[in-house]
Amino acid sequence: MLSSTVENYLKELFLLNPDGETQVATGELAKALSVTPGSATSMIKTLAQAGLVEHRPHYGVKLTNEGRTLAVHVVRRHRIVELFLVNILGMDWSEVHDEAEQLEHVVSDQVISKMDDLLGHPTHDPHGDPIPTPEGTLPVRSLQPLSFCKLGDTVSIARIGNQNTSFLKFAEDNGLLLGATIKVANKNEVADSITIISKGEEVVLGLAAAGRIEVEFA
If you average pLDDT over residues 89-118, what whole number do you get?
A: 95
In a domain, 171, yes or no: yes
pLDDT digits (tens, 9 = 90+) for 14-38: 999 988 888 999 999 999 999 999 9
Q: Total structural domains in the chain?
A: 2
Any idea what the CATH number is for the domain that residue 19 is in?
A: 1.10.10.10
Q: What domain range is 213 assigned to?
A: 144-217
In a domain, 9, yes or no: yes
- Between the alpha carbon of residue 7 and those of residues 67, 134, 180, the distances in Å are 10, 17, 34
pLDDT digits (tens, 9 = 90+) for 143-195: 999 999 999 999 999 999 998 999 999 999 999 999 999 999 999 989 999 99
C-alpha distance across the termini of the chain, in Å: 44
Any idea what the CATH number is for the domain that residue 174 is in?
A: 2.30.30.90
- Between the alpha carbon of residue 36 and those of residues 28, 142, 190, 202, the distances in Å are 10, 36, 37, 42
Of the three residues 32, 63, 94, the one that is the final residue of a domain is: 63
State what percent of residues in the chain have pLDDT above 90. Answer: 89
Q: Say how far apart CA 31 and CA 28 lie, in whole Å.
A: 5
